[in-house]
Structure 1
Amino acid sequence: MSLNTKVIDTMFSSSVEERDLIEKLASIGQLHLLFTGVDTLPQPEPAFRAIMDQLKKIDSSLAPLGGIVGYHRTFLQLLHNNPNTTTSGNYAPPNGPDFSEASPERNEAIQWGIETLPLMAEVYPVGGAGDRLNWHDLQSGDPLPAATLPFLGHTLLEGLLRDLRARELLHSRELFNPVILMTSQAKNNSAWIQQILEENNWFDRPKELFFLIEQPLIPVITEEGTWSIESPLKLQLKPGGHGAIWQMMLTTGAFDWLRSHNRKKILIRQINNPIAGLDANLLAFTGYGCHHDHSFGFASCLRQVNASEGMNVCLQHRGQETITNIEYTEFTKRGIADEPLSADTPYSRFPSNTNLLFADIDHIEQLIPQNPLPGMILNLKNSVGTVRAGRIETTMQNIADSMLSEPYTTFITFNTRRKTISVAKKEYLPEQPISETPVGAYADWLANMHDLLTNHCHMTLPPLTPDATLIHSPPFHVTYHPALGPLWSSIAQKIRGGILHKGSEIQLDIANLTLENLTLDGSLIIINRSLTGTCTLRNVTITNKGPKNSNTFWQGVQQRHEACTLIIDGDGSFTAENITLTGNQTIHVPAGKHLTRREQKR
C-alpha cells in the first residue's frame, strides 16, 4: 500500500516508544493493516498520533502477557487449543454452608457480617459493553453501558449502591464503605459512569470514598490471525474481561487506597445481577468469610445441567485443594462431565459461579505477580465479514486457581438461586425466552416478593402468572428500598398481614415503616429519601385506579391512572389508622412534622 509523505514523516519522527510500538506491530505482521486506506484521510497525522497513544495504553495493560506481541501470540496459542495454563488436577463438587433457610448458623453469619462491615469495601466491574442489551440513549441514539440500564426505578449502578447503604445502616448511620468501580472505554463507559455519579451527587455518599479505574480495551483478532480494523488507523477494540481488575488495582494503587481506609476484605459484585442483595445473602456470605479470615470466596447456588454459565469446583492437585471456577466453554477441555446431582433432578452436581466474590486484599495483591490475568479464555463471538473474530478474556474469579497452598484458603456458601442470581445480559425480544433478560430478572424479583409478602409478612397476594403477562400486566408490582430490611426477618416485623388486590402496586422508599392489615386496590407510593422519617398505616384501606398497563414495569417507570402518594421529608412522620383513602391524592409531611389521620369517632 502506498503511504503519503506526511504519514511517513510522522512515523519516522516518532518517539522512541512509538517506534518500538511500530516495530512490534511489524514483527507480528499487523503494521500494514493499520494503514489500509490511510491515503483517504484528509489529516492522517492526528489519527496516527491517536492510535499510538491508544496502543501505548494497550501495550502497558497487556504487559503481563508481553505487551501487544505477547497478546497476539497468546491469542494464536489459545486458538489452536494449546493447553490452558491453569493448574491441572481433579475436579469435585465443593462443600460449604447452606444459608438458604433460617438457622442458628445463618443467624450467626449474619451477625458476623454486620460486625465486620467496617473491614469491608465493595468492588464493581461496571465496564462491560452490554452489546446484547441493545440499550441506547433516547435523545442521541448513542449506545449506553449496562450500568445505566434502569431496573425497578433505578439504574443498575444505583441499585448496587442502595443495597450497600442498607447493609451499612445495620451497623451505623455514620458508616460508608469505600467503593471501587472498574470502568472501560467501551461505549464511552467511563464518561457515563462519571456523569451518573456527579448528576446524582455521588448517591449521597462521600465522593472521596469512590475510586475509579479505567480498563483499556484490547484488539479484536480474527481466527485467521489478523487484527480487525474499523477504518484507517482505527482498531476494533473490546473489553478484555473483568480478570484485568486485579492487575489494574495494583498498578493504580487501589490496594494501598483501601488500606488507607483500614479495609481488609472486599465484596465483588457484577453490575448485571440486580437481585443478589436480597435478604441475608451478602451479609451471611461476607460475615462467614471475615470471621474465618478466608482469602477468597464464592456465593453460589444451584445450576441447571447444560446451562451456559460457569461452575464452581473444588480443584484438587497433589494433596492440596482450592475452590475455583470453570467457564462452561472449558468443560470439555478439562474433561468435566456436566451431570445431574441425581437421576430425578435437572440440577448439576456442580453449583453455579455467580461472580459474587469475597477477597482478602493482602492475599490477592501477593498473588498478582504469578497470576496477573487469571482465567484466560478465547471469546470468538465477533465476526469480520464471514470470518470469526474475538479477543482474549480473563476472569477475576480465577485468581483462586493460585490458592492451592497455604496461607491461602477459599470457601463457598449456598443460597436459593432466585435470591442469588438473575442477570440482565440481553434485550428481551417478544416470543423469546426471558432468561438472562431484564424481564427475566423482573420475574424472579416478583417471585421473591411473593415469597416475602405471603410466607414472611402473611399478606394475601394474587397468584403469580405466566411469564407472558409480566410484560404489560403483572399480577402485582412491589418495590422497596433495601434499607427497609434488607433482612426479610426485619421486613416481616414491619409489614404484617393485609391484602394486595390483583394489579396493585406498592412502592416503599422508606426504612422506618409499620404496615399492619393494609388493604390495597390500586397504587400506594411512600417516599422518604432521607431514610430517617417514619410511616405507620394500621387497618388502612386504599382504593384508586392504580397503574396503567405498560411494557415498562421492569424498568420501574409506571404510568398511573391514580395513586395514593405519601411524601415524608427528612425526619417527618405520618400515621393513619382505621381509615379509607380513596382516589388520586398526595399527602406531604414536612421535615420535623407529624401528621395523623384516624377514624373520626361519632
Structure 2
Amino acid sequence: MAPVTASSLLHNGIYFTFSTRDSHALFFNSHNSLRQSNKHPLRILSSSLSGRRRKLVSTVPVEYVPPAPDFDFGQELARLRILRSKLSSSNSLRGKIRVVDCDSKVKRFFRSGYYKNEFARVLESVDLDEYELFLIKCIVAAGQEHVLVSGCDTDSDVNGVEHEFVSARNSLKVALYSLVEMIEKWDSNDDREMRVKKVDALALNSLLKILRDVEEFYDCIGGIIGYQLTVLEILSQSAHEEKNTNFQNIDNTNSMGLQFVKIHPPSVLDLSLDTEYAAQAALWGIEGLPRLGEIYPLGGSADRLGLVDSVTGECLPAAMLPYCGHTLLEGLIRDLQAREFLYFKLFGEQCITPVAIMTSSAKNNHEHITLLCERFKWFGRGRSSFRLFEQPLVPAVNAEDGQWLAKGQFLPVCKPGGHGVIWKLAYEKGIFQWFRDHRREGATVRQVSNVVAATDVTLLAMAGIGLHEGKKLGFASCKRNLGATEGINVLIEKGKPDGTWTYGLSCIEYTEFDKFGIDDESSSNSLQTEFPANTNILYVDLNAAEHIASSKDEASLPGMVLNVKKTINFVDQFGLQHCVLGGRLECTMQNIADNLANSFPSQCSEGVEEMLDTYIVYNHRRKVTSSAKKKRKPADMSLHQTPDGALLDSIRNAYDILSHCDIELPEIDSNDKYADCGPPYLILLHPALGPLWEVTRQKFHGGSISKGSELQLEVSEFLWRNVQLDGSLVVTTENVMGSQIDRNHESILQYGYRCARCKLVNVNIRNEGINWSSDKNLYWKHDVQQVEALKVILHGNAEFEAVDVNLEGNHVFEVPDGYRMTVTSGNSGFLTASHQ
C-alpha cells in the first residue's frame, strides 16, 4: 500500500484529499460531517484518520476488503494457538504480560517510530494500570494494532509519512475544535492541545472497556486472543470446506477415531392435532406459573428494523417499536400478565413472575429499556420482580481476513455477541440464583420481535410439559417458510468410537445451511416439509442451564457462528457511510441443547424422542411465530417478518377466534393482496380476554363484523352477544385486570380488584369508522384516521351495558369510577342512559 499523504488543506472548508496507489480518494468537509452525523461531536473527534488497508466508499457498492498479500491464515492460526496456550498456562497477570511481550507483533509495534511519536503521546494522557496495558498489548498481539493508530498501517514504512500525516491530523483536530467550542463547554484554562488529549483519553477509555469485556467474558476460549483465533478458525474452515451433498450423513474424524453423525427430522408433539392433550398441557402450564420465570433476550441491535426516534433521530432498539399502540416490550408484559390473570381466575391467588431481561449498550438499549420500565412504574409488578443484565459488545470483523472494522482510532465497530451469551452472562450476573430465591424451577424464553408467541396454548403447553415431565429444554416449533432467516429443529444421532450413541434435539441455524449442504432455495427440498422451524421460543430447566453456563469451557458459549453474509453499516469519524461485508462472533441461544443430549449403550430405533431430556411442541405457524424484525421497503410486496405482516397474522388469529363464535366476518386473503391497501379490518383484542382461545370464545357469540370495521377491546371482563358492527368500536379501561395498590412503597397490580366491565347484547353499531383512503394510516402502529367511532371509556371499576339498542354515528360514553352506565332505546326511539 502506498503511503498516505495530505495533499491539500483548505482552512475555510477544511477539505482533505488523501491519495493512494489504488487512486481511491477521500473528500471530507467537517461542517457537513458534523451536521449529518447523528453521533456526539466528542465521538467524532475522539477518533482520527483510520488505519488498516480499507477503502472508503459509499453504501453502494458493498465495500469488500481483500486480505493483505502477505496474510497467511495458517501461519496466523498457528501463532495465535501457541500464544493462547502460553497465556492459559500463566497463572498471574505479570506472567501473561511477559508472554505477550515476547510476541513478534507486540515487539514490532512498541519499537516502531509510529508508536514512539504518536500512540505514546496518547498514553501520556491516560494513567494505565498493568491490566489495561496488558489489554492494549493483547489487541496488538491479536493482529489488530490498526485500531490503536491514527492512520497508516504499522506494517508499512511509517517513518516516511509520519510527521506529515500526524501534522495534518492535529491540524484537523485544532480546526474542528473551533466548532466544538460552540457545543461543548470546557475548562477555560485548557488550551487546544489539552482538549485534544482529553478527547483521546475518552476514546481510549471507551476502547479499554470493550477490551476488558471481551477478555473477561470470553475467558473460556482465551479472551481477546481466543476471540480472534475462533474468528479466524471459522473463516478458514468456511474458505476451504467443501459442501456436503448429503446433509443427513456427516463423518467427522477426531483423535479417538471415527465419529458417525446423522441428522433426522424430529418427532414433535403436535398441539394442533391432539387438542385434548394440548389443553391438558396448557393447564399444567397455568398450574405451574408459580414455579416459572420469564427470560427476554433484548440485547440485539435490530439493524434491519431501522427504528429511529421521530424527534431526536436517535436509533432505537426493537423493544421500543410502537406496535399496535404499545411498544414490543409492553406486549411481552401484557402477555405475561394475561397468563397470571388467568391463574388468578382459576386458583384465586396472586402470582407475579420474575422477569430477567438481557440488554446491551447497542443503540442505548439498556438505557431505553430501563427508562421504559420506570415510566410504566415497572408495569405494576414492582422493581424487585425484574433483573436487567447487560451483555458485552464484541468487535465486528470483515469477511475476508477477520480484521476488526474500525470507525477511527480507538473506535472498533462493535455489535452484541448474539443471544447465546445469555446463559453464561446469567450465571455471572447471579440471575440463576435470583430465580432460585423466587423458588423458580424453569423459565420460558421468547424474543421481543415475535408478537404471537403467547397465542392460545403454545407457550403454556410447552412450559407445562417441561415442568410436568421433568424435561430440561423444550422448543416451540412450526412449519418453516421457504427462504426464511430462521433455523430448523433436528434430531441429532451420534455414534461414538467407544460404541455408545447419543441422541438429542437441537437446531441448525440458517447461516450454517451451507456447511450441511442444505439448499434453501429449492421448493422441492425435503427441508421444507420434514424439518420444522426453530423459533427461539424455549422452555429451560434452570438447574440444567446453570450447570452448562457455569462450565469453564466452550459449552458455556453454545453454537458459536460467524455470519459474514450480511453487510455491516457504520459511519466513520468523517461522517462517511460504510457498507462492509462482515460479521461478529455470535452464540446461538437455542444450541444450549447440544449439551443436553442423552447417551445410550446401543443405536436406538424410532421413538427415541420420548426418552430424551429435550422435546418439541408444534402448532400452526400463526400460533407460534410472526415477527416484526425488519422494516418493509416501500416497493416491496413481501410482508414476511415485517410489522405489517405480523399485524395481518394477528388479525387472522382474531378471525379464527371469532368465526368459531357464530360471528360473521370476511376471511383474510394472502398478504400480497394487502401490501398496498392495508388489512381488510382491524381487530385488536387484549390478551387478558383469554389468553387461551377456549376462554376468549366464552365471551363472544353471534353477530357480525363488516369489512372496513375496527374492533379494539382493552378490557378483560367483557360480554358480546349478537352485536352487529359496521364501523369502529373502541373500549378502553383503566383497570383491565385489576387495580394498583401501594405495597412497600411500590405500585402493585392486584389482579381481580376493581376491574372494569363491559356488556353488549343485541346491539347494532354503525358509523363511518376509519378513513381507509387516508395515506396517513399506519395500521401496524395503530395510527389511523378515524372519522367516527363508538368509544366506551371506563374509569376505575366502572361498568357499561348496552342492550337492545342501535348506536349510529359518533358516540363517546365515558363512565366515572364507581358508576355503571346502561344504554337502551326509549319508548320514543331515542337513546336513554342511566348511571348507578
| TM-score under structure 2 length normalisation | 0.69
The answer to whether the 8 Å contact 2:520/2:527 transfers is no
Q: Paired residue for 2:797?
A: 571
The answer to whether the 8 Å contact 2:215/2:223 transfers is yes
1:376-409 deviations in whole A, cap 9, x for unaligned?
1112123586863211111010000011137971
Q: Paired residue for 2:144?
A: 30
Quickly say closer, same or farther: Cα 1:101–1:541, change in 2 above 3 A: farther
Among 301, 307, 316, which residue is 1:144 paired with?
A: 316
SS at match of 2:337: helix
In 1, the alpha carbon distance for the partners of 2:359 and 2:510 equals 25
In 2, the alpha carbon distance for the partners of 1:327 and 1:513 equals 43
In 2, the alpha carbon distance for the partners of 1:486 and 1:253 equals 32
The one-letter code of the counterpart of 1:329 is: T
Q: Paired residue for 1:329?
A: 511
Q: Paired residue for 1:177?
A: 353
Q: Which is worse superposed, 370-379 or 505-514?
A: 370-379
SS at match of 2:533: coil
Q: Which is worse superposed, 384-393 or 226-235?
A: 384-393
In 1, the alpha carbon distance for the partners of 2:233 and 2:524 equals 38
The answer to whether the 8 Å contact 2:567/2:579 transfers is no
Shift of 1:331: 2.5
Among 590, 596, 599, which residue is 2:816 paired with?
A: 590
In 2, the alpha carbon distance for the partners of 1:29 and 1:285 equals 46
Q: Paired residue for 2:451?
A: 274
Quickly say closer, same or farther: Cα 1:14–1:567, change in 2 above 3 A: same
In 1, the alpha carbon distance for the partners of 2:485 and 2:813 equals 49
The one-letter code of the counterpart of 1:420 is: V
Are 2:296 and 1:124 equivalent residues in the alignment? yes
1:250-269 alignment runs, 5 A limit: 250-269=427-446
Shift of 1:210: 0.5
Q: Paired residue for 1:15?
A: 129
Q: Paired residue for 2:584?
A: 391
Q: Paired residue for 1:64?
A: 220
The one-letter code of the counterpart of 2:767 is: N
Are 2:545 and 1:545 equivalent residues in the alignment? no
The answer to whether the 8 Å contact 2:727/2:770 transfers is yes
Q: Paired residue for 2:229?
A: 73
Q: Which is worse superposed, 345-354 or 221-230?
A: 345-354
Q: Paired residue for 1:382?
A: 567
| TM-score under structure 1 length normalisation | 0.94
Among 393, 401, 412, which residue is 1:217 paired with?
A: 393
The answer to whether the 8 Å contact 2:689/2:717 transfers is yes
In 1, the alpha carbon distance for the partners of 2:119 and 2:594 equals 50
The answer to whether the 8 Å contact 1:341/1:348 transfers is no
The answer to whether the 8 Å contact 1:305/1:348 transfers is no
Q: Paired residue for 2:783?
A: 557
Among 297, 308, 313, which residue is 2:485 paired with?
A: 308
Are 2:550 and 1:365 equivalent residues in the alignment? no
In 2, the alpha carbon distance for the partners of 1:104 and 1:389 equals 48
In 2, the alpha carbon distance for the partners of 1:346 and 1:478 equals 35
In 2, the alpha carbon distance for the partners of 1:64 and 1:408 equals 28
1:381-530 alignment runs, 5 A limit: 381-383=566-568, 388-405=581-598, 409-432=613-636, 433-454=638-659, 456-465=660-669, 467=671, 468-469=673-674, 472-530=677-735
1:399-443 deviations in whole A, cap 9, x for unaligned?
000111379710110000111111111111133111111111112
Shift of 1:470: 5.4
Among 361, 377, 395, which residue is 1:201 paired with?
A: 377
Q: Which is worse superposed, 277-286 or 182-191?
A: 277-286
Q: Paired residue for 2:339?
A: 167
Shift of 1:66: 1.1
Q: Paired residue for 1:248?
A: 425
Among 338, 349, 356, which residue is 2:537 paired with?
A: 356
Indicate the RMSD between aligned Cα atoms, in angstroms. 2.4
Shift of 1:53: 2.4
Q: Which is worse superposed, 114-123 or 220-229?
A: 220-229
In 2, the alpha carbon distance for the partners of 1:260 and 1:418 equals 36
1:520-579 deviations in whole A, cap 9, x for unaligned?
111101112312111110010111111122431111222211111111122221111000
Shift of 1:28: 1.5
In 1, the alpha carbon distance for the partners of 2:597 and 2:209 equals 39
Quickly say closer, same or farther: Cα 1:101–1:505, change in 2 above 3 A: farther
The answer to whether the 8 Å contact 1:465/1:475 transfers is no
Shift of 1:10: 4.3
SS at match of 2:668: coil
Q: Which is worse superposed, 395-404 or 274-283?
A: 274-283
Unaligned runs of 5+ in 2: 1-113, 152-165, 174-195, 242-251, 496-500, 570-577, 600-610, 737-754, 829-836
The one-letter code of the counterpart of 1:373 is: L
In 2, the alpha carbon distance for the partners of 1:232 and 1:583 equals 64
Quickly say closer, same or farther: Cα 1:547–1:346, change in 2 above 3 A: farther
The answer to whether the 8 Å contact 1:465/1:474 transfers is no
In 1, the alpha carbon distance for the partners of 2:558 and 2:584 equals 15
In 2, the alpha carbon distance for the partners of 1:451 and 1:541 equals 22
Identity of aligned residues (%): 39
In 1, the alpha carbon distance for the partners of 2:405 and 2:253 equals 26
In 1, the alpha carbon distance for the partners of 2:253 and 2:431 equals 27
In 1, the alpha carbon distance for the partners of 2:356 and 2:612 equals 23
Structure with greater Cα Rg = 2
The answer to whether the 8 Å contact 1:570/1:590 transfers is yes
The one-letter code of the counterpart of 1:376 is: M
The answer to whether the 8 Å contact 2:119/2:149 transfers is no
In 1, the alpha carbon distance for the partners of 2:579 and 2:322 equals 35
Shift of 1:97: 1.4
In 1, the alpha carbon distance for the partners of 2:667 and 2:145 equals 63
The answer to whether the 8 Å contact 1:428/1:437 transfers is yes
Q: Which is worse superposed, 49-58 or 418-427?
A: 49-58
Unaligned runs of 5+ in 1: none
The answer to whether the 8 Å contact 1:472/1:551 transfers is no
Are 2:306 and 1:134 equivalent residues in the alignment? yes
Shift of 1:502: 1.4
In 1, the alpha carbon distance for the partners of 2:524 and 2:141 equals 54
In 2, the alpha carbon distance for the partners of 1:294 and 1:592 equals 48
Shift of 1:356: 0.4
In 2, the alpha carbon distance for the partners of 1:162 and 1:8 equals 51
The one-letter code of the counterpart of 2:534 is: N
In 2, the alpha carbon distance for the partners of 1:387 and 1:271 equals 27
SS at match of 1:18: helix
Q: Which is worse superposed, 184-193 or 298-307?
A: 298-307
The answer to whether the 8 Å contact 2:777/2:783 transfers is no
SS at match of 1:100: coil
Shift of 1:224: 2.1
The one-letter code of the counterpart of 2:214 is: I
